[in-house]
Amino acid sequence: MESTKTSGIRGWMCHHPLVVDAALGCLLVVAGVVGELKGVGERHDGVITGRDIAALVVVLLAVTLRRKWPQHTLVATAAAVTVLVATTGVRQVILLVAVVIAAFTTASRTSRRVAWTTAGAVAVVMYLVDAFGSTGSVWSPQSIGIVAWIGMATAVGDAARSRRAWVAEVVERAHRAEQTREEEASRRVIQERLRIARELHDVVAHHIAVINVQAGAASHVLHRQPEQANRALTHIRTACDTVLSELSSIVGVLRQSDDDPDSSTEPVRGLSRLADMVDALAAAGLTVERRQIGVTRELPAVVDLAAYRIMQEALTNAHKYGTGTAGLTITYTPEGITIDVVNTVAAERTPAQSGYGIVGMRERAAAAGGTLEAQVGPNGRFTVHAELPAPALKAVS
CATH number of domain containing 310: 3.30.565.10
For residue 90, is it left (φ>0), alpha (ψ between -120 and 50) or beta? beta
Residue among 170, 117, 126, 118 at smallest CA distance from 148? 126
Residue among 325, 328, 238, 332 at smallest CA distance from 291? 328
* 329 plus 247 within the same structural domain: no
Q: Is 118 a domain residue?
A: no
Q: Is 14 a domain residue?
A: no
Residue 231 identity (one-letter amino acid): R
pLDDT digits (tens, 9 = 90+) for 209-239: 666 666 666 666 666 776 776 676 776 766 6
71 by DSSP, 3-state: which?
A: helix
Q: Are 381 and 342 in contact (CB under 8 A)?
A: yes
Q: Is 282 a domain residue?
A: yes
Residue among 133, 51, 140 at smallest CA distance from 95? 51
Q: Is 162 a domain residue?
A: no
Q: Kindly state the greatest CA–CA separation across the chain.
A: 132
The C-alpha R_g of the chain, in whole angstroms, comes to: 40
Q: What is the extent of the structural domain holding 317?
A: 271-389
Q: Are strands 287-293 and 325-332 parallel, antiparallel or unpaired?
A: parallel
Give the number of C-alpha atoms closer than 13 A to the C-alpha of residue 318, restricted to the C-beta side.
Answer: 30
Q: What was the pLDDT predicted at 216?
A: 66
Q: Are 309 and 347 in contact (CB under 8 A)?
A: no
Q: For residues 95 and 88, what is the distance between their CA atoms, to the nearest angstrom? A: 14
Q: Is 279 a domain residue?
A: yes
* 232 plus 310 within the same structural domain: no
* 214 plus 320 within the same structural domain: no
pLDDT-derived band at 201 (thresholds 50, 70, 90) equals low
Q: Is 223 a domain residue?
A: yes
Q: Is 132 a domain residue?
A: no
Global pTM?
0.45
Most confident of 50-64, 84-98, 110-124, 268-282: 110-124
DSSP H or E run through 235: helix 226-253
pLDDT digits (tens, 9 = 90+) for 299-322: 887 888 889 889 988 988 888 888
- Residue with the larger pLDDT of the pair 301 and 48: 301
Percent of the chain beyond pLDDT 90? Answer: 11
* Mean pLDDT taken over the chain: 77
- Residue with the larger pLDDT of the pair 375 and 350: 375
Residue among 209, 311, 308 at smallest CA distance from 267? 308
Residue among 354, 352, 353, 371 at smallest CA distance from 362? 371
* 231 plus 275 within the same structural domain: no
Q: Are 210 and 234 in contact (CB under 8 A)?
A: no
pLDDT-derived band at 330 (thresholds 50, 70, 90) equals very high
* 275 plus 383 within the same structural domain: yes
Residue among 267, 357, 258, 242 at smallest CA distance from 311? 357
Q: Is 145 a domain residue?
A: no
244: domain CATH number?
A: 1.20.5
If one counts the domains in the chain, the total is 2
* 384 plus 275 within the same structural domain: yes
* 280 plus 354 within the same structural domain: yes
* 248 plus 276 within the same structural domain: no
Mean pLDDT across 159-180? 86
Query: Is 90 exceeded by the pLDDT of residue 386?
Result: yes
Number of CB atoms found within 10 A of residue 87's CB: 10
Q: What was the pLDDT predicted at 152?
A: 92
